[in-house]
Amino acid sequence: MIREEWPEFTEEQFDDLIDRERIDWRFIDGELFVLDNFLDSLRVYPKEVPGMRPDSTDGIALRNEMLKEMESQNGLARVITLKASLSVPGALGRPFALGFPSRLPVVSSLGSRFST
């Protein structure tokens, strides 16, 4: 995939990007897999992948703005919301144990309580 865009790209460069955590990967059944969008993720580091097309103009402007803000404040924080679901194949209708505490805090007008 990457050689379509950057023909001179070597296996050593690939290994180096993995070692420096620029490419997100997983071992599945003993085989290395990378995320489908790993090329777009690499565009965030144009100096490290000079043979690739640059990020879109919008992406570059947004990144540069964020980097300026990070430099001026010695860091950057954002609030994000994550949504997740949990499914256990074959467990439908049968009780199962979670691998983490199942009590979650509940916030109400009376203050914070723990629900069971």
Q: What is the pLDDT of residues 77-99, one digit of tens each?
A: 878 888 877 777 776 665 555 55
Quote the percentage of the chain above a pLDDT of 90: 13
State the pLDDT at residue 16.
93
Residue 14 contacts residue 23 (beta carbons within 8 Å):
yes
What pLDDT shows up at residue 72? 92
Bridge partners of 106?
113
**More confident position, 84 or 114:** 84
Work out the mean pLDDT of the chain and round it to a whole number.
77
C-alpha to C-alpha distance for 46 and 42, rounded to whole angstroms: 7
**Is the model's pLDDT at 11 over the cut of 90?**
yes
Has residue 1 got a pLDDT over 60? yes
Any idea which of 5-9, 72-76, 90-94, 110-114 has the lowest mean pLDDT? 110-114
3-state SS track over the chain: CHHHHCCCCCHHHHHHHHHCCCCCEEEECCEEEECCCHHHHHCCCCCCCCCCCCCCHHHHHHHHHHHHHHHHHCCCCCCCCCCCCCCCCCCCCCCCCCCCCCCCEEEECCEEEECC
User: Which among 31, 30, 64, 28 has a CA at the least distance from the CA of 46?
Assistant: 64
What is the model's pTM?
0.48
- Looking at residue 111, its pLDDT comes to 44
Given this model, what pLDDT does residue 112 score?
41
> 48 near 17, Cβ under 8 Å?
yes
